[in-house]
Structure 1
Amino acid sequence: MSDLLGIGASGLRAYSRALSTIGDNIANAQTPGYARRTLELQENQAASNMPLYRSSIKPGGVQITGITRSVDAWLIADARVSSGDAERSGIRLDWLERVEGALSDKSNGISTALTKLFTTADQLSADPSNQALRAQFLQSVDDVASGFRTAAKQLEGMADGVAGAADAAVDQFNTNLSALEEINVGLRKARPGSTNQASLLDERDRLLDKLSAQAGVTATFDQHGAVTLRATASGDTLVSGGVVTPIAVTAGADGRLSYSIGGTPMPIATGTLAGYAEAANHIADQRAGLDTMAMQFANELNNAHQAGVDDGGNPGAPLFSGTSAANLTSTGLNPSQLAVGNATSGNGNMLAIGGMRGAGNPESQWAGHLASQAQATASARAHDAAAATRADAASAARSSVSEIDIDREAADLLRFQQAYSAAARTIQVARETMQALLAAI
C-alpha cells in the first residue's frame, strides 16, 4: 500500500513540474533567446533483493532527472557568425549611403556650380564686357568653394559620428562581457538540470548572441556551461576564470578607428565594431579625396585666371584661397578684376577657361568621383542584402529547434494534465483501500 502511495506521490511531483515547465514555454513563446524546455522523466525503481535481475525490480513511480533545453550547438554557432557579418555590412552600408548623400549635388551643389562656371565662361568669351555675366562667373566661383566646404563639413561630422557610435558600442560590448562573467558565476553554483540553470543558460546565450553581433568572438564551455570567451580574429582572451578584459577604441586624426585590448592592437573582422571601422576608413578616404579634388581644381583655375589680364591690364589674381576643401574660399574679386582677356585678345582668357572642359576636366573628374561613390554604395547594398538573407536563414534554422510550438505545448499540456489526474486518482484509490482495510479490522 505504501508503494501505491509512493507511486502516486511521485507522479504528482513529476507532472506538476512538467505542467510548470510547459507553462514557462507558453509564457515565453515570444521571448527572444528563450529555448524550449523539456522535463526529463524516468522510471523510479523500487528496492529489490536481486538488483541485477530485471524481473525482480518493482516499479516505484517516476522521478525527474532534469530539464533540457532544445538547442543545436552548430546551428547556434552558424547563426552567430552570420549575424556578425550582417551587422558589419549593415553598419557599413548605412554610413556609405550617408556619404553618398553628402557628396550629392542636392546636398552641396558642386556639380551645378561647376557647370554654371564653365557655361558662364563660354558666354563671357562671346560678350566679354557684360558685367552681369562677370558677376555670375564670380558667384559661380564662390558657389564651388562653398560646395566643397559644405561637403567637407558634412564628412567631418560623419567621422565624428562614427567615432562616437563606435565608442558607445565598445562600452556596450564591455558591459556585456561583465554581464557574461556574472552569468558564469551563477552557472557554477546552479544545480544541474534545474530551472535556474536553464534560465542562466538562456541569458548566457542571449549575451553571446549580442557579443557575436558586436564583434567576432569564440566561446568554449566548461562542465557547468560557464564560458571562456576569446576574440576570433586575434585569439585574445576576453572572459576567463573570473577575469574580464575590456577592449578600447581610438580615433585617429583623420577619423580612422583602431581597437585594442590591454594596450595591444586588436583586429576585428566582423560585427558592428568592424562595420564602424570600415565606415570610418571610407569616410577618411573620401575626405582625403575631396581635399585633393578641391585643391586640384582651385590650382587649375587659379593658374588659368592668372594667365589672363583684367580691365586695367594687370595679371589676373587668384580666384581661390585655402589649403583644403574645408577652408576653400573665393578671394572676393570684383567684376573689373576678372581676367577675361589675355595678351592677344579681349576674350582670350575666357576662351582658355571654357576650353578646360573635356576629358579629365574638373566637371568630369567630379562626376567620376560621384560615380565611384555610387558604385561603392551599390556594392555595399548588394553585400548587405546577401548577408541579411543568410543571417535570416541561419536564424530560422536555429529557431526551428528552439522555438515554441503552441500546438505542441497544448498537446503536452493536455497529456500531463491527464497524467496528473491519474496520479491523484492513484493516491485516492490507496486511501480508500486503506480505509476499507482498517474498517474491516
Structure 2
Amino acid sequence: MPTSTFLALNIGVSALETAQQTENVISNNIANASTSGYAVENAVIDESQAFPANNESLPVGQMGQGSQVVQIQRQTNAYLDAQDRSNQGYLAMYQAHQTTLTQLQGIINEPSSSGLQNAVDQFFQSWQTLSTDPTNTAARQSVISQAQSVAQTFETVTSQLEQQQQGLAQTIEGQVNELVGYSAQVATLNQQIAMQTQIGQSPNPLLDQRAEFLNKMAKLANITYSTQSNGAVNVFLGNGANAIPLVGGNGTASEYNQDLNPSITGTNVVWTAYNEPPSSPSETSDYLPSSSGYTGQGSVTSPSNSLLSAINSGAIAGNVQGLDDASRTLASVNDFLNNFSSEVNSQQAEGLTLGGTAGPPLFEVTNDSAGNVVLQAAPDPSTNTPFTTADIAAGGAADGPEGNSNATAMFQLQSAGQSGSGTWQYVRVAGDNAVTAPYSSSGTFDESLASIVSQIGVEAQSVNNSESTASALAQQSSTLRQSVSGVDMNQQAALMVQFQNSYNAAAKFISVFNSMLQTLIQSV
C-alpha cells in the first residue's frame, strides 16, 4: 500500500512536540529545585505505533511514526525514602531530648556560686562559724539567712522544673495534634490520588504534597506506611501487630482528631485522651480500628494502645523522654529536701536555745499546688511566732544554752552519711499502667546533690553522642535520597541543551520538508 506524502511531516511534528514537552518537564524541575517534598520528574519517551498496522503490510515493512511522551515520571526510591524518614525521626528525637537536657542543666546550674550545692554548703558553713562564737547575734542571724537562702534556692529550682514540665506537656500535646492533622491531610490526598490513578493519570503534584506530609510525620513519630494499588497509602504508628493505623488507603474521607490534656501533679503526669466526633455523619474513622480503643463518637474505651504510648522516635518521643527527666529530677529534689529538712530539724531539736529549751524546727516542709516539696525557713509552727536568733540551738545538754556542741554537730551533719529511697512515677495516658523507676540517695548531702547533677550530665553526654551518630546517618540517607529524587541543576542544564538541539533539528527537518513540498507543488 502507498504511504502518505505527509508521513515524514507528521514524524517531524512528533519530534518537535516530544522535545517541547520534555523541555516543559525540565523547566518544571528547575522551577521546583528548592520546593520541599518535590521529586525530580523525567519525561518517558516511547516510539509511536508503527505504520501500517500488523494486519497490513508495505513492501519495505513497517515504518516508524516518530516518538511521543507516554508518562511524566517521578524519580523516587521507596527504600531510600523510608530509610531517610526513619533516620530523620531518630535525629529529631535526640535533638528534642538534647534541648530539654540542656535546659535541665541550666535549671540545676551546677557547679555555680548560685547553685543548690553552694547554698547547702554555705548553710553548714554558717553553723561552723557560729560554733566559734555561739552567742554572737550576727552569726546566729547568718544561720537564719543561709537557711532562708537554701529554701529560696530550692523553691526557685522546683518552680523552674515545674514550668519545664508544663512546657513540655504543652509541646507534646501540640505535636500529637499536629501529627493527627497531617494524618487528615494524607487521607484527603489519598482520596484525590486514587481518583487520578483510576483514570490513568500520574498525579505527581499530589504525590509530592503527600510525600512532604509523610516527611513531617516521620519527624514527629515512628510512622510506617504501605502503598496500595490505587496509589493511596496506609500509614501506621509503629509496626507489627501493635501498630496503630493513622490513615487508611481506601480513599474515603477520614477524620481522627485526638486531643491530649496533660494534668501534672508533682511527678505524676496524667494524659487524658479523647476524640472529637466527625464533623458530618458521612465521615468515618475507618483507619482507626476498635482495637485501638478510640471511636468516632468521642469516647475512649481502652487507651492502653494509645498514640503516645506507641511513639518511640521523632520529636514527640524526645520530648516525652525530656518530660521523664524533669519528673525524675523533681522526685530526686523532693527526696533530698525531705531528708535534709528532717536531719536538720532533728539535730536542731537535740540542742538548746538561749532560753534553755529544745530547738524548734528550723525548716517547715509544705507542698505547693503541684504537690512538690517546698521548704519554709525559720518558722515556729508550734507558737506561730517569728523565728528569732535566740531560737538557734547552738549549745547542748553537755555545755548549756550558750555552748557550741550542737552547732558543731550540725556542721558535722554535712559530712555524715544519710540515705533514702522511693519510687517516682507518672501515667502517660489515663488508664495506662504507671511508668515507674526507683531512686535512692546515699552518702553525704553534697554527694546526693552531686548524684542528681551527675545523672543529668551522664544522660546529656549519652544523648549528645547519640545525636552525633543520628545526625551523620540522617545526612547520609538524605544525600542518598537526594541523589535519586533531588533536582541536579547541572544534569537539567545538560538535558535542556540536548532537547533544545533535538527541537532545532526537528524544526530544521520540517523546514527542509516544507521546501521539498513547495518544489513538488510547483513542479506539478
Output the TM-score relative to the length of structure 2: 0.80
Q: Give the 3-state SS of the residue equivalent to 1:327 in structure 2.
A: strand
Instruction: Return closer, same or farther for 1:226/1:104 CA change in 2, 3 Å cut-off.
Output: same
Q: Give the 3-state SS of the residue equivalent to 2:311 in structure 1.
A: coil
Alignment partner, residue 143 of structure 2: 137
Instruction: Return closer, same or farther for 1:420/1:51 CA change in 2, 3 Å cut-off.
Output: farther
Alignment partner, residue 395 of structure 2: 341
**For structure 2, which runs of at least 5 residues remain unmatched after alignment?**
274-291, 295-299, 380-386, 418-442
Worse-matched range after superposition: 409-418 or 185-194: 185-194
Q: Please, which of 235, 238, 249 is the counterpart of residue 260 of structure 2?
A: 249
In 1, distance between residues paired with 2:56 and 2:206? 39
What is the total number of aligned residue pairs between the two structures?
A: 441
Instruction: Return closer, same or farther for 1:30/1:129 CA change in 2, 3 Å cut-off.
Output: same
Q: Please, which of 198, 215, 218 is the counterpart of residue 212 of structure 1?
A: 218
AA at the equivalent of 1:296: N
Q: Please, which of 237, 241, 244 is the counterpart of residue 245 of structure 2?
A: 237
Displacement of 1:368: 2.1
Q: Give the 3-state SS of the residue equivalent to 1:322 in structure 2.
A: strand
1:321 aligns with 2:321: no
AA at the equivalent of 1:93: Q
Worse-matched range after superposition: 186-195 or 174-183: 186-195
Q: Deviations over 1:341-397 (max 9, x none)?
A: 010021110111111122522222112221222112111211112112211111111
Displacement of 1:61: 0.6
Instruction: Return closer, same or farther for 1:362/1:343 CA change in 2, 3 Å cut-off.
Output: same
Displacement of 1:192: 8.2
2:144–2:378 Cα contact (<8 Å) kept: no
Displacement of 1:227: 1.1
Displacement of 1:194: 8.8
Worse-matched range after superposition: 53-62 or 23-32: 53-62
Q: Please, which of 336, 360, 367 is the counterpart of residue 293 of structure 1?
A: 336
Alignment partner, residue 434 of structure 2: none
2:234–2:247 Cα contact (<8 Å) kept: yes
Alignment partner, residue 421 of structure 1: 504
Displacement of 1:160: 0.5
Q: Please, which of 69, 72, 87 is the counterpart of residue 67 of structure 1?
A: 72
Instruction: Return closer, same or farther for 1:89/1:193 CA change in 2, 3 Å cut-off.
Output: farther
In 2, distance between residues paired with 1:393 and 1:195? 33
RMSD of equivalent CA atoms: 2.3
**For structure 1, which runs of at least 5 residues remain unmatched after alignment?**
none
Q: Please, which of 58, 61, 80 is the counterpart of residue 63 of structure 2?
A: 58
In 2, distance between residues paired with 1:279 and 1:299? 30
In 1, distance between residues paired with 2:257 and 2:468? 32
Q: Give the 3-state SS of the residue equivalent to 2:172 in structure 1.
A: helix
1:355 aligns with 2:412: yes
Q: Give the 3-state SS of the residue equivalent to 2:225 in structure 1.
A: strand
2:219–2:314 Cα contact (<8 Å) kept: yes
1:160–1:255 Cα contact (<8 Å) kept: no
Q: Deviations over 1:125-166 (max 9, x none)?
A: 121112111111111111111111111100100011001111
Alignment partner, residue 386 of structure 1: 469
Alignment partner, residue 437 of structure 2: none
Whose RCO is larger (CA < 8 A, sep 6+)? 1
AA at the equivalent of 1:88: M
Displacement of 1:108: 5.7
Counterparts in 2 of 1:25-40, with a 5 A limit? 25-40=29-44
1:65–1:193 Cα contact (<8 Å) kept: no
Displacement of 1:314: 0.9
In 2, distance between residues paired with 1:190 and 1:12? 28
Displacement of 1:258: 5.1
1:124–1:134 Cα contact (<8 Å) kept: yes
Displacement of 1:252: 4.2
Worse-matched range after superposition: 311-320 or 25-34: 25-34
Q: Please, which of 305, 310, 323 is the counterpart of residue 348 of structure 2?
A: 305
AA at the equivalent of 1:178: A
Q: Please, which of 94, 111, 114 is the counterpart of residue 117 of structure 2?
A: 111
Output the TM-score relative to the length of structure 1: 0.94
1:95 aligns with 2:100: yes
Worse-matched range after superposition: 105-114 or 255-264: 255-264
In 2, distance between residues paired with 1:26 and 1:273? 35
In 2, distance between residues paired with 1:151 and 1:144? 11
Worse-matched range after superposition: 206-215 or 417-426: 417-426
1:14–1:64 Cα contact (<8 Å) kept: yes
Alignment partner, residue 16 of structure 2: 12
1:374 aligns with 2:385: no
2:173–2:262 Cα contact (<8 Å) kept: no
In 1, distance between residues paired with 2:211 and 2:199? 17
In 1, distance between residues paired with 2:13 and 2:465? 62
Q: Please, which of 113, 121, 146 is the counterpart of residue 127 of structure 2?
A: 121
Q: Deviations over 1:79-115 (max 9, x none)?
A: 0111111111111111111111111244963212111
In 1, distance between residues paired with 2:114 and 2:82? 45
Instruction: Return closer, same or farther for 1:115/1:79 CA change in 2, 3 Å cut-off.
Output: same
Q: Which one has the bigger helix percentage?
A: 1
Instruction: Return closer, same or farther for 1:51/1:204 CA change in 2, 3 Å cut-off.
Output: farther
Task: Quote the sequence identity (%).
Answer: 25
